[in-house]
Amino acid sequence: MDQKQIFSKCKELGCCDACGLRYLGIRNPKAYENAKEFALKFQDKPVATDGASSSTEKEAVETNNTTVSNGDSPPNKKHKGNPCVTCLGLLQEEVWPECNKKVKELLDKKRYECTTFACALSAPIVTILRERVVSLRLSDACKDYDAKVLTPLKEAWKWSFGTQLATYVGINLDAGHLSPLLVTLHMEYPDDLQELEVLKTLSPTLFESRSQQRKRFTVEFTRRSVEQALEGVTLEALEALPGRGEGIMAVGGRVECVSVGCTHAPAYVGGRYIKLSRELPQTPWIINGRRMMESSVQEIIFEPLAKAYGMSLADSEHRLKFMAAGREDVDVRCLGDGRPFAIEVTDPNRQLSADELNNICEEISKSGLVIVKLMVPVTKEDLTDLKKAEETKRKTYEALCIKLAHSEYETDLDPSAPVTVTDEDIRRLNTFRNTPAEHSARIVFTQRTPIRVLHRRPLLVRTRCIYELHAEKVPEHPRLLCIRLVSMAGAYIKELVHGECGRTAPALRESARAPIDLLALDVSAVLAVWPPTTRLH
């Protein structure tokens, strides 16, 4: 492959130096940092670096250039510093100052504390069509040319524009999978859609099908559809299109940076919350647009966290995501070490220090409703453990129950006699077992989805286990008893006590052979390792 011949042809067609290197298959990042200098080795004589290679060639290109999408368009008027016919200016320095300015303004506004960044490009789709035309012309002029060697536009852009942008903003350029900060530039070309119209003639069936499926294909031209339309296309087929001139496609102007986006990879913090109130849901409780409680565990935790990140209340609603290993009912306290939780922080401008996280815990605890003793950074991978804990953890409960009537075996009592919890009631509960002695669980029961949660959970029948159970009388309260039990995840303890009219069986009231109901319930322990102990040192 004669590299000088190929490069010369690229210049003749109107390519910039950087695109000339791309068609040669140059993949050395250093080459694109100063494409003009690197390109000298492929030139036999001085060549213009932005557009046609000589005045004669330039005149020829100006005469022959016509727009591929519109046969009535006049020849493109060339001007000083012609846009490249392939990249449309993306790899040319004339476009970069405005891009640099917009990126720096946004970075200054968002104030990221990050030493590296990665950059991404949203390029005009028509560059795919233009690359194919140039590749076909090179193959026609240079018989041994291999179009597969083409260096991707986005790679060359990163190596050229990205490198100088790093110097301009004072942050090191890094790979996207390494740096948490991503800067995305959205570039548009004024004649993008107009030039792509030619593809409807080239591949009418494809675009007729897309037009008929507007619900599925909301955009007429996508990168995928353009690539499909160009599969197997020949130079002869392109030149036979209506309005297609002999020269390379005319350029309707340079690309422009229409918007810049900056986003930082999410940050994650984890901890455990203790819930002291019986009038506090885990997350905001809204029914038909009406708030049912003044606050929630989530909101109490979010408030000081959002303040530390400089977020407004409105921002925190969509930039903070609360996750927990299960949830307790609004009227159930969560005591002991608390329930594991994590928070995802979208687009954080920095990582909070250990002291800041400790201060946040103190602010949360001042509410008197929720206590968080510790909050530490965790990783996205750690969230897998939190999700597993939700499904596999064991929980310890304390249930305050009341005996509603005499036991079935108390047949010798006067019906009007006071109802009391008897030693026999306690014995029956403490010895009840419906599994073999070698089984890890004492009680295996089935439960239909409780009626009280059917509005948000599907109606299913599930099997759950109780591993430990101990009942005892409550001193000075003859009708009350306290039941402590250890259950598997997903067990509905309220229904386990009273049975919900047989929807949960066997219920504890059946094992005691006495009608009992639940007055108050506490989660006294959630048996899961969280946050990850490696984060605590």
Residues annotated as catalytic (active site), given as ranges: 329
The residue type at 221: F
Tell me the three-class secondary structure of 81-129, residue by residue: CCCCCCCCCCCCHHHHHHHHHHHHHHHHHHCCCCCEEEEEEECCCHHHH
Q: Tell me if 84 sits within 8 A of 92, measured CB to CB.
A: yes
User: What is the CA angle 361-351-537, rounded to 5?
Assistant: 65
CA angle in degrees (0–180, nearest 5) for 416-418-424: 115
User: Which of 527, 441, 434 lies closest to 489, judged by CA?
Assistant: 527
Instruction: Give the phi and the psi of residue 349 in degrees, each rounded to 5.
Output: -90, -10
Phi, psi of 342 (to 5 degrees): -145, 155
Residue type present at position 196 = L
Q: How far apart are CA 91 and CA 488, in angstroms?
A: 60
- d(C-alpha 102, C-alpha 122), whole Å: 15
Residue 38 contacts residue 20 (beta carbons within 8 Å): no
Report the DSSP beta bridge partners of residue 394.
Answer: 488, 527
Q: What DSSP designation does 61 have?
A: H
Which 3 state secondary structure label does DSSP give 431? helix
Peptide bond into 531 cis (omega under 30): yes
Q: Provide the pairing of β-strand 181-188 with 116-122.
A: parallel
Residue whose entry in the numeric block shows the structure tokens 């509960």: 429
Residue 301 burial (C-beta neighbours within 10 Å; 0-12, 13-18, 19+)? buried
d(CA 376, CA 378): 6
Query: Would you tell me the crossing angle of helices 55-64 and 3-13 to the nearest 10 degrees?
Result: 50
Contact in structure between 133 and 248 (CB atoms under 8 Å): yes
C-alpha distances in Å from residue 285, one per residue of 27, 300, 305, 327: 56, 14, 21, 13
- Is residue 99 within 8 A of residue 121, CB to CB? The reply is no
H/E run at residue 297: helix 297-308
Is residue 284 a contact partner of residue 298, using CB atoms and an 8 Å limit? yes
Neighbour tally for 241: CB within 10 Å: 14
